[in-house]
Amino acid sequence: MRILHVVGARPNFMKVAPVHAALAARNGSKQVLVHTGQHYDAFMSDIFFRQLDIPEPDHNLGVGSGTHAQQTAQIMMGTESVILKEKPDLVLVYGDVNSTVAAALVCAKLLVPTGHVEAGLRSFDRTMPEEVNRVLTDRVADYLFTPSVDGNENLAREGVPPEKVHFVGNVMIDTLVRLLPHAGKETPAPGSYALATLHRPSNVDDPAELRRIICALNEIAEKIEILFPVHPRTRQMMQELADIQPAPGLRLTDPVGYLEFLGLQRNALFVITDSGGIQEETTFLGVPCLTVRENTERPVTVSIGSNLLVGRDMERLKKEAAAILAGQAKRGGIPPLWDGKAGERIAGILA
């Protein structure tokens, strides 16, 4: 079987790695890796690919940034050319970025079977481009590999035939489990700091909203040091807030690599974020997570895991941080099948 993987951003590579490895172990598939180039990431070096144990992409489309329509159209054109050349028996797409839906639509038109890894997740918020990508991809994919039970429930509610849906667990956790022993060791003393990340447009593109968040972080940083690896767009927006500066305890740093960040997560007292993947990782690590979003497409991290949605309520954020500092942190569990073997289950189904 000839399988073509389409990825477009660094988190997609974390997801493709265990699936690629599991298929390679079966020695029955020829695999082709396509990077659309949707996101440029300076950390995607030779070391990055060696750490994940995947080859460098066979095709790099170099699409780059643009409006959603421009980017999706360019990915569709580039992906169509590759698929016509490679003639795969199956295309696997990952997550919820523009590359995911673009490749799925191309395959639907070319009648090439498609599998969606991380299917069924829903925030029920159509203002999020990722939600549109998730819904459309699941409508045209032939194999829907869900990371959690709520994914199956969402797809059943939408009328997806059950024979298309496969509950396999979370491939991101596969990568975390494998690389956790190699995670960055050079961190402050465990439990002596908090960790923060912000990148969603709803939080950082509105100066008034970003100002409120930074003010709240400054207050929390009076009680515990906060390490804040700053996304480039976030840093640019912060520089425009001339009337507010980070407090001494709010330590801004450049973005760090996956292994370094994993080490920081593991040893943090708690994490403040608006990232979907970090909600999952902190749940597995048992680290309290305060998510600065009104909703999440990963509700299992709240119902089972260590995640709390605080929305845009900065008083709630400060209150929950204070509770953690007082030893009253939420203690969660690990969702079913988040055991490091999701990639093997996917390979078994495809075999």
Q: Sort strands 289-291 and 30-35 into parallel, antiparallel or unpaired.
A: unpaired
Q: Which residues contact 300 (CB under 8 A, 6 or more apart)?
A: 148, 149, 150, 283, 335
DSSP letter at 181 equals G
Respond yes or no: is residue 199 known to be catalytic: yes
Task: Output phi, psi for 193, to 5 deg.
Answer: -150, 160
DSSP letter at 56 equals P
Number of H helices, E strands in the chain: 15, 13
DSSP 92-103: EEETTSHHHHHH
Task: Output phi, psi for 2, to 5 deg.
Answer: -105, 115
Catalytic residue among 5, 166, 199, 231: 199
Amino acid identity of 16? V
CB 42 within 8 A of CB 28: no
Active site residues: 199
